[in-house]
Amino acid sequence: MKDRIAEVVASSLGIVTSELLLEIPENQDFGDYTTSIAMRAFADKSLLEKLPESVRDSKDPYDLASSLVVFLEEKTDLLNYVEKILAIKPGFINIWLKDEILVDNLIHISKKHYYYGSSDIGRNKRVVIDYSSPNIAKRFSIGHLRSTIIGQSLYNIYEFLGYKVIGDNHLGDWGTQFGKLIYMLKRHPLESVTVEGLEKLYVKYHQLAKGEEKEKMDFEARAWFAKLEKGVPMAREIWRKCVSISMREFNRIYDLLGVSFDMMMGESRYSNVLKRLLKNKHFLSYLSEGEGGAKIIDLQEYGIKTPLMFLKSDGTTTYAARDLACIYYRIRRFEPHVIIYEVGKEQTLHFKQVFAAARKLGWAGDSIILHHTAHGLYLSPSGKKFSTREGDVVNLEEVLKEAIRKAGEIINSSKTARDIPEKDLERITNDIGIGAIKYFDLKHAVGSDIVFDWNKILDLKGNSGPYIQYTFARTNSVLEKAKEKGFIVKDLEYCDIEVLRLDLTDEERDIARLLFHFGEFVKKAAVDFSPKVICDYLFALCQRYNSFYDKYPILKEKNSKKKMFRLKLTEDIGWVIRNGLRLLGIEVVERM
Ligand code: ARG
């Protein structure tokens, strides 16, 4: 509906929908939709001149908004489905839908169930999402947790909108650090065959590489990486071992998180593409000589002062070269409309360079959206950066297990959780613990830093995963009680629309309105690359339902039509929470 109204309003006013900026106000007092077009047009002459002549000589933004309202009422069919359009000071135009549209939608929700809120706007379009992408021989850090969680959620959201999504784990399995590691592994036996063991060996390399020794060691390590790039079997063999030790641990974390990928094309997989590029005359014509004989791609015409380094002076490839080969491969293989890189903000320059180079080389046309999400960091409760270097080591697997343990405490102290059957207990505890971690990550704006705080992660009263899951469990228990009392769910599913067309209380309308907007928020989450949009939405919905629940009778309501309506609302809220959480990669629990 949002797209339709935006289209009708914008085209009748002679502008495009991106100029109209139709929004959904938080509070229904300000309409179901609103636009600030009058205020903006009043301040911007070029925009004003696009509007119909009859409205142009207004004395202030409110006056302009009022004339636009009259124009819309006369010249469009909006009033067929819109209850009212009002100009509001200082110059907003607010639009309210007819109640019957909101009520009809309640039937629609339970018919569409799992698909409610989905769409086919992505039909025949492909999106590649690069996420998680941890580094081999290093522990899976809390930094990669963000990428894993946000990336998976964006995957779910785009898929729900009909896009063909390709999820790729771009493992950091190549680079000069492997030369150092091979150097060490040739001399020092591994203390323990774990990623931690590999990481320690790498640290030891840097402890040993001091003074004169350093030059010798670095020289040899570089030689090992060069051998690796050439495919020398002994180097390959050691490297492969590092990869398999690491993947064993990473897969445990993916299992805990319930995350999976369509492909895991690590950096190492692009050596053939790189070889081919380095033989391609057209490509070579873009390379120029950098400092010390390095090969670079100049990007000044894109306003980027630092060129992209493609080959180091010793002829080995760089991280950027591998990303460039990768983008070339992705564009040719998938013809994507969007490529999303779910990577931290510390790599902002890197992605600017890679994107600009892909444009300069003519690989990525203007129609392809290249997006780097640039997520923020996790900060420790003391506000410091979580890092492995400062010894402030955070073992991710331990963090996840701790979340599950704490979820167990919630369950133990909950009265309503008492009748959870023994066989479901472990699953439910897992889903609450992991859900809490995921939700806490996703509810923050992607770009902002996050202070890790157990109290907030598990806060049953605030904006948290357990709170949303709890609200779902509540809708579930209301429906179960209704069933016990002989209320037939089928009746609810196919109930007569007329039964629902009652006078709505403000709270009922407010909930019906939010339910109506669900699909529109899903689209916004995709366009903004922001699962937070869905968290905010779910939190608002759950708060509304919980205060409704406290204020109004549902099963005890005497008027049977009202009762039916409230049960329907309850059922639909359940569907929308379920679908919303699924997009965030979080399971619902039927009891807690
Ligand atoms: N492995 C990299 C790191 O940990 C992230 C890779 C992100 N993806 C990419 N295409 N560069 O820093």
Judge whether 504 and 561 are in contact, CB under 8 Å: no
Residue nearest to atom 1 of ligand 1 (CA): 172
Q: Calculate how far, in angstroms, residue 130's C-alpha sits from the geometric centre of ligand 1.
A: 8
Ligand 1 centroid to residue 170 C-alpha, Å: 6
Q: What are phi and psi of 372, to 5 degrees?
A: -105, 120
Q: CB under 6 Å to ligand 1: residues?
A: 130, 133, 135, 170, 172, 323, 341, 343
Mutate to test the pocket of ligand 1, among 170, 250, 268, 328 (most ligand atoms within 8 A of CB): 170
319 CA: nearest ligand 1 atom: 11
Atom index in ligand 1 nearest the CA of residue 343 equals 7
- In the reported structure, the alpha carbon of residue 318 is separated from the centroid of ligand 1 by a whole-number distance in angstroms of 12
Kindly give the number of the ligand 1 atom that is closest to the alpha carbon of 171: 1
Q: How far is the CA of 568 from the centre of ligand 1 (A)?
A: 46
Neighbours of 305 (CB within 10 A): 8
Residues counted in the chain: 592
Is the CB of residue 86 less than 8 Å from the CB of residue 30? no
Can you spell out the DSSP letters for 252-315? HHHHHHT---SB---GGGGHHHHHHHTT-HHHHTT-EE-GGG-EEE--GGGT--SPEEEE-TTS
The set of residues, in sequence order, having a beta carbon less than 8 Å from that of 31 and lying 6+ positions away, is: 25, 86, 94, 95, 96
In the reported structure, the alpha carbon of residue 427 is separated from the centroid of ligand 1 by a whole-number distance in angstroms of 32
Which residue out of 250, 347, 354 has the highest number of ligand 1 atoms within 8 Å of its CB and is therefore the one to mutate?
A: 347
Query: Is the bond leading into 134 cis (omega within 30 degrees of zero)?
Result: no
- Cα 171 to averaged position of ligand 1 atoms, centre (Å): 7
Minimum-distance ligand 1 atom for the alpha carbon of 351: 11
- CA of residue 277 to ligand 1 center, whole Å: 21
Q: From the CA of 207, how far away is ligand 1's center (Å)?
A: 26
Cα(147) to centroid of ligand 1, in Å? 10
Find the distance separating the first CA and the last CA of the chain, reported in whole Å: 36
Q: Kindly give the number of the ligand 1 atom that is closest to the alpha carbon of 347.
A: 12
User: Which atom of ligand 1 has the smallest separation from the CA of 135?
Assistant: 1
- Report the atom number in ligand 1 closest to the C-alpha of 144: 4
For residue 281 the two structure tokens come to 């005359």
Q: How far is the CA of 373 from the centre of ligand 1 (A)?
A: 12
Please say whether the dihedral angle defined by the alpha carbons of residues 40, 44, 50 and 56, taken in this order, is positive or negative.
positive
What number does the ligand 1 atom closest to the CA of 350 have?
11
Which pLDDT value is given to residue 280? 95
Cα–Cα distance for residue pair 265/253, rounded to 1 Å: 18
* C-alpha gyration radius of the chain: 28
* Block mean pLDDT (10 aa), the chain, length 592: 92 93 93 95 92 90 94 91 94 94 89 94 97 94 91 98 98 93 90 87 92 92 92 94 94 95 96 94 95 94 97 90 97 98 97 98 96 93 61 73 94 85 92 97 96 92 96 95 79 62 86 97 97 98 97 92 89 97 97 90
Q: Tell me the domains of the chain and their CATH numbers.
A: 2-97 (3.30.1360.70), 131-379 (3.40.50.620), 396-584 (1.10.730.10)
Write down the pLDDT at residue 388. 44
Give 252 Cα–ligand 1 centroid separation in angstroms.
20
Residue to mutate (ligand 1; options 343, 350, 351, 377; most atoms within 8 A of CB): 343
Phi and psi at 97, nearest 5°, equal -80, 160
- Ligand 1 centroid–CA 351 distance in Å is 10
Instruction: State how far the Cα of 489 lies from the Cα of 553, in Å rounded to an integer.
Output: 19
Q: Which atom of ligand 1 is nearest to the CA of 326?
A: 10
Confidence at residue 495, expressed as pLDDT on a 0 to 100 scale = 61
- Ligand 1: nearest atom to the Cα of 172: 1
Residue with token string 């209704």: 482
What residue owns the CA closest to ligand 1's atom 5?
133
Q: Residue whose CA is closest, atom 8 of ligand 1?
A: 170
